[in-house]
Amino acid sequence: MEVKKIQLLDRRFKTMIPAEEIDKAVTRVAEQLNERYAGKTPIFLGVLSGAFLFLSDLVRKISFDSRLAFVKISSYEGTQSTGRISQQLGIDFDIEGKDVIIVEDIVETGHSMNYLIDYLQQRNPASIAICTLFFKPDKFLYEYKIDYVAMPIGNEFIVGYGLDYNQIGRNLKDIYVLDED
């Protein structure tokens, strides 16, 4: 893999995961979901803004009927999680008795996911599954299971494919990591 370097605002980044590897991981997760939800019509709940590219690619690889909804929560400023969760957008229809698949770009500490699970459980869905593009197991602080993980990673700060640095870089097709060299 050719290492590309880019500048986003005041930081330099270099390629970490090429688009082709991401696509293979998304396909693998879609195959697992196709097996689990065949004949059902779950609700994909995309967590904005980071998960939009992952969700878009994922649902195009799905072979079952589904509904889409979005929620917007945030806990990041710059390259660090603040530990405070704020919700700007929620679900505007009834999910009681329905299967819900939360689609997230990255699960780190789990604070945002824990908040979202509590929010959903109050609406009595039949089931809640968690599907994430990236998972940082070394930072995860909770006991609940992450059902579908496209790629586990270390504790690097990454951008691209929906993930941003101060709202910049979501459009990049590859994943980039901070270049500290």
- Tell me what the pLDDT averaged over the chain comes to: 90
Euclidean distance between CA atoms 59 and 31, whole angstroms: 11
Residue 38 CA: distances (Å) to CA of 34, 42, 65, 107, 173: 6, 10, 9, 26, 30
Q: For residue 17, what pLDDT is reported? A: 97
Q: Is residue 104 part of a domain?
A: yes
Given this model, what pLDDT does residue 60 score? 97
* Backbone torsions φ then ψ of 82, nearest 5 degrees: -85, -20
pTM above 0.95, yes or no: no
- Residue 13 in any domain: the answer is no
Which residue stretches of the chain have pLDDT < 70? 74-90
- The pLDDT of residue 85 is 57
What is the CATH classification number for the domain harbouring 130? 3.40.50.2020
* Domain around 54: 22-73+89-155
